[in-house]
Structure 1
């Protein structure tokens, strides 16, 4: 669509095109002529949408804060699910994972060698030495937010503690690599370099993703990659960075019985941290963490 300066901007901000995304589009056109992959307009969130995602994230962050305050040995993963579900509903939100493509619970709980998508259960009791990822996605008024945190239960092994700490730093390296008008591949390159320098592997079958108006949007955010490659990171893009780091092989398999829970192929420990971020004109905003 070709817009004149006085037309309403395509982003639905209500502003005139020349007051909103005219200069933005000119910059993308230059980059496209340089053979760069540029984001489609539907990946650029406007101010109203960003504010909606922020409000959703207030609930999402509150859930993870509540889990942080209460998680302990002796709890079941179903207990965690109940806490999250009740908190979400009481604040007018919807647990995004509940019944999503058949997923039966309101969050994911992945323990030790479970890489992701662990299903909460009254039969799974947390014990001293476990590490667990709690992954939460929330819908509020049609807007989505997504984040996960690692928790160490009681006294964990040195190996487990180091993995959790290095994985958090992998997330930080990925966040630091995000630059407005930079490249998507810079994120994976930074994470892969740091993980492998510490002797760990990076899961390749799963990655981050666009989020905000749906649970999964473009782009796919690989946690492996090469600098200077991939889509241009334009202001207004909202996506997750969520590295899954293994002590052993990067290879994984999915439980055939439930079709969801993903394990390391060699039984080694795995950890994951996830943030939802907004690319801004001068850096990033961490929306959900």
Structure 2
């Protein structure tokens, strides 16, 4: 994702708002159905059905060869977990849903993590810290700041709670392509990196481990897990940078 960020017009931002609102509506519909005994493939079927009803295309299906609409990652799985009929949720699991759509030629992209039934205190704290890091980072997406200000804020928020940010995957610009410049690491130094400008649309997505930040990829070639088997959480919003501050596009 080298190159200059692609700045969006107000009209494009409005289309991206609609795309991302659809993403979040579908994610919340899925979240409502999370319970023990559900297979992860049931959520894939649900996502495809809702995309059809909304008249949008699932953004991930076929992207770089990925075969599904949803990425569903459970417990130590960080991202890119594949829906499976034989993977059944159980009480106490953490499940992350990463999802996108294509609406009117533009991409929406968001993610959230959900506890299945009653979860451990560690799992609750991990979700809370990861989501808090996302919202604090969004506040740094202001004209004149640097991408490093976003990165630093995520890392500082996470590490002061004795968790670790995943370093192998990054946030990104989003628009007519799912991944556009600039890359947005979840670690780094404040005041570094590209300058944040009006018209940027950014997908900011902290991925956080309760243990080590080190990653390994499973034999399916997609599913990324924590190397030490520790729990992971993932929250993502797509936001627009405007003269009046950041606007979260992926909210209802």
Sort the TM-score into its range (normalised by shorter chain): over 0.9
Q: Residues of 2 paired with 1:182 and 1:40: CA distance?
A: 18
Specify the alignment match of 1:204 in structure 2: 167
Asked if 1 retains the 8 angstrom alpha-carbon contact of 2:155 and 2:187, the reply is yes
Offset from partner CA, 1:6-33 (integer Å, 9 cap, x none): xxxxxxxxxxxxxxxxxxxxxxxxxxxx
Partner residue of 1:222 out of 153, 164, 185: 185
Aligned partner of residue 249 in structure 2, secondary structure? strand
Change (3 A) 1:141 1:99: same
The runs of 4+ residues in structure 1 deviating greater than 4 Å are 39-42
Q: Residues of 1 paired with 2:105 and 2:65: CA distance?
A: 20
Change (3 A) 1:41 1:228: closer
Asked if 1 retains the 8 angstrom alpha-carbon contact of 2:5 and 2:200, the reply is no
**1:115-134 mapped onto 2 (5 Å cutoff):** 115-134=78-97
Q: Residues of 1 paired with 2:226 and 2:4: CA distance?
A: 37
Structure with bigger RCO (C-alpha 8 Å, 6+ apart) = 2
Mark the runs of 5 or more structure 2 residues left unpaired by the alignment: none
Whether 1:263 and 2:221 are equivalent positions in the alignment is: no
Specify the alignment match of 1:235 in structure 2: 198
Mark the runs of 5 or more structure 1 residues left unpaired by the alignment: 1-38
Asked if 1 retains the 8 angstrom alpha-carbon contact of 2:44 and 2:69, the reply is yes
Q: Residues of 2 paired with 1:41 and 1:125: CA distance?
A: 43
**1:265-280 mapped onto 2 (5 Å cutoff):** 265-280=227-242
Q: Residues of 2 paired with 1:57 and 1:183: CA distance?
A: 24
> How well do the aligned residues superpose, as a CA RMSD in angstroms?
1.3
Change (3 A) 1:162 1:101: same
Query: Residue 153 of structure 1: CA displacement?
Result: 0.5
Specify the alignment match of 1:22 in structure 2: none
Q: Which has the larger radius of gyration?
A: 1
Q: Residues of 2 paired with 1:144 and 1:151: CA distance?
A: 23
Q: Residues of 1 paired with 2:156 and 2:14: CA distance?
A: 34
Query: Residue 48 of structure 1: CA displacement?
Result: 2.3
Asked if 2 retains the 8 angstrom alpha-carbon contact of 1:275 and 1:286, the reply is yes
Asked if 1 retains the 8 angstrom alpha-carbon contact of 2:5 and 2:182, the reply is no
Q: Residues of 1 paired with 2:56 and 2:100: CA distance?
A: 10
Asked if 1 retains the 8 angstrom alpha-carbon contact of 2:20 and 2:250, the reply is yes
Q: Residues of 2 paired with 1:41 and 1:127: CA distance?
A: 44
Aligned partner of residue 57 in structure 1, secondary structure? helix
Specify the alignment match of 2:32 in structure 1: 69
Partner residue of 1:148 out of 105, 111, 114: 111
User: What TM-score do you get using the length of structure 2 for normalisation?
Assistant: 0.96
Query: Residue 40 of structure 1: CA displacement?
Result: 6.7
Aligned partner of residue 110 in structure 1, secondary structure? strand
Specify the alignment match of 1:44 in structure 2: 7
